[in-house]
Homo-oligomer: A and B are copies of this chain.
Amino acid sequence: MTVTIYDVAREANVSMATVSRVVNGNPNVKPATRKKVNDVIERLEYRPNAVARGLASKKTTSVGVILPDVSENFYSELARGIEDIATMYRYHIILSNSDQRPEKELQLIETMYGKQVDGIIFMSEHLTENVLTQMEKSPVPIVLAGTVDETNKLPSVNIDYYAAAYEAVNRLIQNGHTNIAFVGGSLSSTIIRGYLLAAYKKALQDASIDLKEDNIVETDASYEDGMEAYKQLQTLSHPPTAYFASNDEIAIGIIHGAQDTGKLVPNDIEVISFENSKLARMVRPELTSIALPLYDIGAVSMRLLTKFMSKETVEETNVHLPYRLEERDSLKK
């Protein structure tokens, strides 16, 4: 009942091979027969079966995308960048949420192999040993998006988180602060623990500011966590006068935590964030923030993957995109 390439061939009085050629745009077909075949295709409403094609050609034109949670803005932004470039290169996306659980990540990678994807884009806050080795022996190319592999064995697209965080903290120091809090989403995140926190410490040290361990609070990444962290920090004998937040939600939580107790931002305390999602402009004061090019990270990752999939040689496999400091009102000018 479904019409196959064979039906088209019969109706058009040509061979399957010829039909295949016109469907795939092979130039070695006489215009007349091409037209004849196309007419039949249209008449029969023939639609190539991508599964059969995949089996015969060993290419599925689909790529697996594994991320912690699509409903988080951070990842959905990346996903959109990935999808746009995928579409541009005629790939389709098989999307799965890992919830950041290593067993699930492992299993999803296996599933993607089973589905015969031509490549994989992988995102995770933290890469475990197992997952890493699993990916290193992958039968298809893999690119990490917004995800750090400290061994640099896998291709990846990121920004220079360390430099960005250093700049952020330093900006606070320039404004005269010596009592600066670090409020970071889960420290199991490689980026946060490995780069943001390290840069924070280094910036303080370079400015000869003593590190106060109490000024470092590890939370989850939500708004409530930011508020909570703010409250907690107010119990110190000398509460911080400046805050470095690892994402916008936390930053907004801090700001509201302060405002709810009558403090003014940026007059009483100053806050700098690390993300610059659209939330950044949806608070009063608007957030000064390191701007992460999430869409671009996704897009460039996918572009990189297309190169691997078509076996082009790529010069730089660990790409660092530029970031910038977006100056707004949660910091004095």
Contacts and interface: CB of A to CB of B under 8 A. Distances in A.
Nearest to A253: B282
B87 A77 contact: no
B110 A83 contact: no
Nearest to A256: B284
A50 interface: yes
A16 interface: no
A111 B84 contact: no
A71 B77 contact: yes
Contact of A97 (B48, B71, B80): B80
Contact of A48 (B50, B114, B278): B114
A51 B223 contact: no
A76 B259 CA distance: 31
B284 A282 contact: no
Given A51-B60, A73-B73, A223-B282, A96 B115 contact: no
Interface string A68-98: 0111110011011001100100001111110
A54 interface: yes
A215 interface: no
Interface residues on A, range: 35 or more
A77 B116 CA distance: 28
Given A49-B114, A50-B115, A93-B94, A70 B80 contact: yes
B278 A223 contact: yes
Contacts of A32: none
A249 interface: yes
A79 B71 contact: yes
A136 B96 CA distance: 28
A281 interface: yes
B223 A281 contact: yes
A70 B298 CA distance: 13
Given A51-B55, A95-B93, A79 B83 contact: no
Contacts of A163: none
Given A80-B71, A115-B50, A249 B55 contact: no
Interface string A252-290: 100010011000000000000000001101111000000
Contact of A111 (B54, B76, B92, B96): B92
A170 interface: no
A50 B50 CA distance: 13
A90 B60 CA distance: 20
Nearest to A260: B284
14 contacts: A49-B116, A50-B114, A50-B116, A51-B115, A69-B80, A70-B83, A72-B76, A73-B73, A92-B96, A93-B95, A94-B94, A249-B282, A259-B284, A282-B283
Given A50-B116, A70-B80, 19 more contacts: A2-B139, A47-B110, A47-B114, A48-B114, A51-B60, A51-B116, A65-B95, A73-B76, A79-B95, A87-B97, A92-B94, A92-B96, A92-B111, A95-B95, A223-B278, A223-B281, A249-B282, A252-B282, A256-B282
8 interchain residue pairs of minimum CB distance: A71-B80, A76-B76, A95-B95, A51-B54, A50-B115, A51-B116, A50-B114, A71-B76
